[in-house]
Structure 1
Amino acid sequence: MTARIDHATTSGTFSLDGQTFDVDNNVWIVGDDEECFVIDAPHDAGAIRDLVGTRTVRAILATHAHDDHVRVAPELADALRAPVLLHPDDMVLWRMTHPQRDPDGALADGQRLTIAGTEVEVLHTPGHAPGAVCFHVPELRAVFTGDTLFAGGPGATGRSYSDFPTIIDSIRDRLLSLPGETTVHPGHGDTTTIAAEKPHLQEWIDRGH
């Protein structure tokens, strides 16, 4: 069976630099009826388990370690007997939320994971967070961008451990070079496409300055 994408939205909070905000987060699942990857683990482990159903979760893949993306990752990992994988550059953020438990494995730029016979490529895209990654699935014409790229522009870079020029470089070099028909599945909000976002790069640069 060909891999597919399933989706749910969960609600909770995001906290950093002494401030807390209400947020809605996307949860993405890639796989078939037998096995899957979970991309990000925000807010509500029960909702994610409902989306998974009876499938075997091969890994919980973190786009980055802000608390609204990994808050229930250890709980979910224990319940599903699945490893949490995170880029090591985001350990400083991970430990703010989970100081007593490390992720189970590391993600690396260029790494290729396979689920349901479908290849998932890890793209290191720092800027919003030092260890931010995106997951490109060519066969599904999809990329899961976390908080690096949204419908309408880059993720926020106004808080600790983020940097605007770096996120622009990541988007230009790693994401806008993907095929235009690639659907962008972000960590928050609606989907878009690479073709829809690519013409606006200079606007984002000008706005960021």
Structure 2
Amino acid sequence: MTTTGAPTRTTTRTTTAELRERHVGPMDNVSYLLTCRATGAQLLVDAAADTPALLDLVRAGNPSGRLDAVVTTHRHHDHVGALADVLRASGARSLAGAADAGHLPARVDRRLAHGDVVAVGALRLHVVHLRGHTPGSVALVLRTAGDAPHVWTGDSLFPGGVGNTGGDAARFTSLLDDVEDRLFGQLPDETVVHPGHGAPTTLGEQRPQLAAWRERGW
């Protein structure tokens, strides 16, 4: 399945950023574009598939085609299919979690750790390491005064549960512990969650299910 030519949807316009998304590839991945309204700087989250569609998305945010960085949330193949081509076409820097960086099919210019800050023009995105779906999975948190926070979670948090941990109890516990502590424990209920597949949600919508997720073990 390809989404080239499909409409680009502006998901949110905050006081400091424009947030866009594009569904791409046979696994219906969601790639996200963040545009700094003050400077036109741009960051793409997960160059998953369909390079022409993603470059169209970049131009929708900034007609010059400026792309400053690509953050890969984790190493899985469906999240990196267009990475090398997008980097080559745009000249953007490549960023990924340190433990996953060596497994990507393209260069990584910066290896991310928990607590790092990624600057995109005037925007500041905070890196959250979420261990379990993969060893180096990362989420990005955007907080701006007067707006609800936004978090891009890759495949670590979805509506209805955390990401796949292959039936490994230790990995599941690690991931749920990190999600509870580092997302639900630090961010308010109005935080908008942008997952790597499917529709957005909020932490408030998901918070009542945390105990049930732990009980069922996935």
Corresponding residue pairs, total: 193
- Residue matched to 2:83: 73
- Residue matched to 1:59: 69
| DSSP-derived class of the 1:43 partner | coil
Distance 1:26 1:198 in 2: 23
Distance 1:174 1:154 in 2: 13
Distance 1:27 1:73 in 2: 11
Q: Does 1:39 align with 2:51?
A: no
Provide the TM-score with structure 1 as the length reference.
Answer: 0.86
- Asked if 1 retains the 8 angstrom alpha-carbon contact of 2:55 and 2:65, the reply is no
- Asked if 2 retains the 8 angstrom alpha-carbon contact of 1:2 and 1:116, the reply is no
Mapping for residues 167-206 of structure 1, pairs under 5 Å: 167-177=175-185, 178-206=187-215
Distance 1:201 1:56 in 2: 40
Provide the TM-score with structure 2 as the length reference.
Answer: 0.83
- Residue matched to 1:19: none
- Residue matched to 2:3: none
Distance 2:32 2:131 in 1: 20
Residue identity over aligned pairs, in percent, reads: 34
RMSD over aligned Cα atoms: 1.8
- Asked if 2 retains the 8 angstrom alpha-carbon contact of 1:148 and 1:155, the reply is yes
Following superposition, which runs of at least 4 residues in structure 1 exceed 2 angstroms of deviation? 91-94
CA shift, 1:175, in A, is: 1.1
Which region of structure 1 is more displaced relative to structure 2, 52-61 or 72-81? 52-61
Distance 1:11 1:159 in 2: 26
Instruction: Summarize deviations over 1:126-168 as a string: whole Å, max 9, x none.
Output: 11110000000011510000001001111111179x9211111
CA shift, 1:91, in A, is: 3.7
Segments of 5+ residues of structure 2 without an aligned counterpart are: 1-14
Distance 2:214 2:167 in 1: 18
Of 148, 154, 157, the match for 1:146: 154
- Asked if 2 retains the 8 angstrom alpha-carbon contact of 1:107 and 1:122, the reply is yes
| DSSP-derived class of the 2:85 partner | helix
Segments of 5+ residues of structure 1 without an aligned counterpart are: 13-22
